[in-house]
Structures are given as C-alpha cells and as structure tokens.
Amino acid sequence: MNDSRQRFLAMTRSEQGPAATQALPNGHREHAAAVHTEEVLAAALSGDYQVHRGASLLYRIEIDSSGKASHDGQDAPRRGQYAFQTDILVTRAKTPLVVVELKAGFFSSHDVITYSWKAQRHKQVYPYLRYGFAVVGLEALGRRFMTHNEAFDFAAAIPDHGRIETDLVPIVLRQIRSAERIIDLTRHGRIKLRRYEQNVEIDG
C-alpha cells in the first residue's frame, strides 16, 4: 500500500469517533449478522452452491525463479499466505463466485476504502468474482459509500436480520448468474462481443 493511501486511511479512522468504544458489542453484532446471513443464503441456494463464513481468497500469486507458483490450487487459501479472509463467500465446487463483506449498525469511510481495496486485489486473481458490501441494521448507505467505493459490484443497507432474505438474497442470486456468465464467456479461446453493458441500479 503506498504512502498516500496509508495517510488517507489514517485520517478516515478518526471519523469512527465513539464507535471505537463499542468495538466488542459491535463485534458480536457483526458475528451474529454473518452467522444469520450464512444460514439464510445456504437455505436459499441449491445444493450446487456452498456458502462459507470466514473463508480466505488469494490476492496474489507469485512465480519463483524455477517457474513454481506460490499456490498450486490443491489446498484452500489461508491467511498469511497471499490470502485475505472474507466474511461471506459463495462458491460452486471450488470456484469462488460472490463475496459479501458485512458490517453491523454503522460503517466508516475506512471500512469502504479497506474492503474496496480487498475487492480489487481479489479480482486480480479471480476476474469473474462479484464483490459486495452489506450493512445489517442500517436504513441507508449514503454519500460516504458512493464517495469511497472503487471496486464493489453491489451494496445494500439491510434494516434488520429479517430483511436479509428479502433484500440481500435476490442480489446475491443475480450476482451468481453474472459471475457464471463471465466464466462461461472466458472459457472460449476467442471472445466476440456484440454488446457489453453494465447497469447501475439504485433504490432510494
């Protein structure tokens, strides 16, 4: 991470204010949100898909001087070995399709910048991966998210746990289809596109 990004992250930490004193309670809330999200998604998806909580994904692969890759794909990625942990990961077999990073009750500019940076790094290894951000216990995301988002494909404010099924699950299902379309497209040696379009959909 370059010096300018580090200085900016240090400044945005000051925005969190009294939230720092609530770190433990909020940690419990985030854990509960992650557990419930995992359960709801697992129930909504068919048996072809798996939902993981706390799984890690590679953010870098290195080739040494002998031509050996730093990760051979045989073992699951682990933190500390060119891998970052994710909150919620949806896979099909061993293929990662969708990530949802979660916060509970509130979020800071630092959260958006950090998670967005993680999304960029993961997408460099998994270019078909769809990456999202969700805050459980919040009515709206606001300008802070729009200002600092660089790499999220989707985001949602979920007012309460009961709305995860109605508000988040449909988004994740659409993102799974998008990831699988990209995978199918890139399986062909030559790609011919007649049209490519990304749409921005916002519910106020």
CATH number reported for the structural domain that contains residue 142 in this entry: 3.40.1350.10
Q: Is residue 107 part of a domain?
A: yes
Q: Is residue 93 part of a domain?
A: yes
- The predicted pLDDT at position 80 comes to 65
Q: Is residue 21 part of a domain?
A: no
Q: How far, in Å, CA of 156 to CA of 131, rounded?
A: 12
- The predicted pLDDT at position 13 comes to 42
Strands 88-92 vs 130-136: parallel, antiparallel or unpaired = unpaired
Q: Is residue 122 part of a domain?
A: yes
- Angle 10-124-99 (CA atoms, 0-180°, nearest 5)? 75
| Total tally of structural domains belonging to the chain | 1
Q: Is residue 195 part of a domain?
A: no
Q: Is residue 192 part of a domain?
A: no
Q: How far, in Å, CA of 82 to CA of 165, rounded?
A: 33
Q: How far, in Å, CA of 137 to CA of 163, rounded?
A: 10
- Give the global pTM: 0.81
Q: Is residue 178 part of a domain?
A: yes
- Angle 22-14-146 (CA atoms, 0-180°, nearest 5)? 95
Q: Is residue 70 part of a domain?
A: no
Per-residue pLDDT of the chain (204 residues; tens, 9 = 90+): 555 455 444 444 434 433 433 444 678 999 999 999 999 999 999 999 999 999 999 998 877 767 777 666 656 676 666 899 999 999 999 999 999 999 999 999 999 999 999 999 999 999 999 999 999 999 999 999 999 999 999 999 999 999 999 999 999 999 999 999 999 988 877 777 888 888 888 887
Q: What domain range is 88 assigned to? A: 29-58+76-186
